[in-house]
Amino acid sequence: MAEPLPPGPETVLGKTMKVLGAFTADDAVLGFTDLQLRTELPKATLHRLLGDLVGARLLEKVDGAYRLSRFVFELGMRASVERTLLEVAIPFLEELYERTHETVHLGVREGHEVVYVAKMGGHRQVTSPSRLGGRMPLHATAIGKALLAWAPEEVREDVLAGRLRRCSPRTIVNRAVLRRQLDDVLERGVAFEHEESAVGVTCVAAPVLGDYDEVLAGVSVTGPVGRFEPIRCASAVRAAAAGVAATLARRSRLR
């Protein structure tokens, strides 16, 4: 069977592929001029197409430049797991699982949601709403609260000002209570969830922080109420998150 032909360069899909293909591992953020030079698209066409791609969540606009969105990363994760974050985090997640024998997650923030990029657990893992590549509201999960607590101030305030969706009878939807919890996460370095994402599920999480305390990801352990005591795993989760952060920092300095 013949290989499928690529989309024609004058089709909308062909032009879209030109834009997405302009980004490389070394050029994650590109300005309009660079994109115009690489795609050779007319300025008016490129401007309109960039607006459409931002609207479709395939690109993000940052300080006047553009980068591939977290949504593209999410799609890529469904096809390939060869990403630096996963490569670094997996050994720590495996060690954390061996220490706890409960479900372990790695998640990243996109907007007001946590996207789960890794999940591992044994035969007795708790039934939770988390899914690999799936999403949950930041305020309703421990890993989401860890990400939200360390997110930029404007993100925190935007979440607190918006509608807090109730995922279970115990989801925190009171803004004052949630604000206090986020402040506590910053002070203690860990976040907790007690049946807030789903009935019968409890969790502890810690942030993976970059060199400037920017949050890169979150690590969590989840278990069933009655068997799992999250406070007992807080130190182990903090240590795993710190290990991922330290390894990422070393790799970055070696580049």
- C-alpha 220/C-alpha 93 separation (Å) is 9
Do 122 and 63 share a domain, yes or no? no
Residue carrying structure tokens 């985090």? 89
Do 47 and 89 share a domain, yes or no? no
Do 137 and 61 share a domain, yes or no? no
> Is there a domain that residue 240 lies in?
yes
Please give the pLDDT value at position 83: 65
Please give the pLDDT value at position 124: 64
Do 136 and 243 share a domain, yes or no? yes
* Structural domains of the chain, count: 2
Q: How confident is the model at residue 247 (pLDDT cuts 50, 70, 90)?
A: very high
Q: Quick check: 44 pLDDT over 60?
A: yes
| Percentage of residues in the chain having pLDDT higher than 70 | 89
Do 122 and 62 share a domain, yes or no? no
> Is there a domain that residue 214 lies in?
yes
Please give the pLDDT value at position 8: 61
What is the rounded average pLDDT of the residues 90-115?
A: 92
pLDDT-wise least confident of 26-40, 139-153, 183-197: 26-40
Do 21 and 114 share a domain, yes or no? no
- Residue 61's DSSP bridge partners are 66
Question: What are the structure tokens assigned to 27, written together?
Answer: 């050029």
> Is there a domain that residue 56 lies in?
yes
173-213 pLDDT, tens digit each: 999 999 999 999 999 999 999 999 999 999 999 999 998 88
Measured from the Cβ of residue 91, the count of other Cβ atoms closer than 10 Å reads 13
In the chain, helix, strand, coil percent, each to 5? 45, 20, 35
What is the rounded average pLDDT of the residues 126-139?
A: 79
160-184 pLDDT, tens digit each: 999 999 999 999 999 999 999 999 9
Could you say which of 61, 76, 91 is where a domain stops?
Answer: 76
Do 146 and 234 share a domain, yes or no? yes
Please give the pLDDT value at position 55: 93
Do 62 and 100 share a domain, yes or no? no
48-82 pLDDT, tens digit each: 999 999 999 999 998 889 999 988 877 776 655 44
> Is there a domain that residue 6 lies in?
no
Alpha helices in 22-169 (DSSP H): 32-39, 43-55, 70-79, 84-100, 142-149, 153-161
Please give the pLDDT value at position 3: 37
> Is there a domain that residue 5 lies in?
no
Do 50 and 136 share a domain, yes or no? no
Do 188 and 145 share a domain, yes or no? yes
Do 126 and 223 share a domain, yes or no? yes
Domain that holds residue 16: 12-76
Do 94 and 206 share a domain, yes or no? yes
